[in-house]
Amino acid sequence: MGDVQFVRLGFGADAVEYQRAWEEQRRVHAARFADEIPDTCLLLEHPPVFTAGRRTEESERPLDGTPVIDVDRGGKITWHGPGQLVGYPILKLPRPVDVVAHVRRLEEALIRACAELGLATTRIEGRSGVWVLGAPKEERAALGGLSLDLDPRLGGDDEFDPRLAGPQYAPSNAGQRHEDRKLAAIGIRVAKGVTMHGFSLNVNPDNTWFDRIVPCGIRDAGVASLAQELGREVTVEEVLPVVERHLAEVLSEAVPLPRRPEAEPAAPSAGEPATA
């Protein structure tokens, strides 16, 4: 891939409605496929909105009937809103097309950006996105924070529903419980060799929005933000140029390599935005 053109669509009071951004993605996608424009990454904030990827189950949606926009990306349900940096890289992938490699590049760029901002993050096997690791389960009770005398998740209860279990189990409180928590979600679609959708990085949002859903369909972990984890005020304005720089570096390193026989399946999971 060559140089990536970054387009800042709107932030703060100029946050971009999801449907309008989706239409712009489709327009840019068609232009990129036709080689009318270079690889382009749209960067923006959205007003509050829930979006559901193709694998979202009914049991993961808001219980109160809050509207959800169903989209054509991979993955499950997630939330977008103020304080979250959303990026839609619309790129012509190297041949042969390797969707998983593209997801890993997005993760790598965000991991590097978080490190520059002072936060160590990582990947978790089988779960796309960028994560802050929690403590091992056997150590959590001794670390303080929320006290959960009978945690239904520790017994492997597949029916556990954080939406019904009260604030002590809410995804937004995962840090207090010293659990794994997702800082950035990745969800993509590839059509005609060109990517759509992308990532959402929680900078300083109100993460209690995630408590209305089962974020990315994951019931045994939660969500985080840069501001929470760093313990200081962090703004999208501060993070934006850092993310742009690392995206440009990582995406420029992409080269066409043959897919290995043992490579992962080409359908990444969501918010897992492949937000969720």
Question: Given this model, what pLDDT does residue 80 score?
Answer: 97
Structure tokens at 125: 């096997």
Side chain identity at 192, as an amino acid letter? K
Catalytic positions, please? 216
Identify the H or E element spanning 183: strand 181-191
Residue 27 has pLDDT above 80, yes or no: yes
Q: Are strands 181-191 and 222-223 parallel, antiparallel or unpaired?
A: parallel
104 Cβ partners below 8 Å, 6+ apart?
Answer: none
* Fold for the domain defined by 3-135+170-251: BirA Bifunctional Protein; domain 2 (3.30.930)
Asked if residue 77 belongs to a known ligand binding site, the reply is: yes
Question: Given this model, what pLDDT does residue 157 score?
Answer: 56
Give the dihedral sign, CA 12/13/18/21: negative
Tens digit of each residue's pLDDT (9 = 90 or more) over 223-271: 999 999 999 999 999 999 999 999 999 998 876 555 555 444 444 444 4
Task: Give the DSSP letter string of 44-64.
Answer: E--SSEEEE-TT--GGGS-TT
Q: Which of 13-17, 44-48, 56-60, 239-243 has the lowest mean pLDDT?
A: 56-60
Question: Given this model, what pLDDT does residue 1 score?
Answer: 61
Asked if residue 225 belongs to a known ligand binding site, the reply is: no
Identify the H or E element spanning 108: helix 99-117
Sheet holding 77-80, edge to edge: 68-70, 49-52, 77-80
241 Cβ partners below 8 Å, 6+ apart?
Answer: none
Asked if residue 198 belongs to a known ligand binding site, the reply is: yes
In angstroms, rounded to a whole number, what is the distance separating the alpha carbons of residues 224 and 169?
Answer: 14
Q: 245 with 20: CB under 8 angstroms?
A: no
Asked if residue 192 belongs to a known ligand binding site, the reply is: no
pLDDT (average), residues 13-34: 97
pLDDT (average), residues 50-69: 91
pTM for this entry: 0.87
Asked if residue 166 belongs to a known ligand binding site, the reply is: no
DSSP β-bridge partners for residue 80: 49
Domain boundary assignment for the chain? 3-135+170-251
Asked if residue 46 belongs to a known ligand binding site, the reply is: no
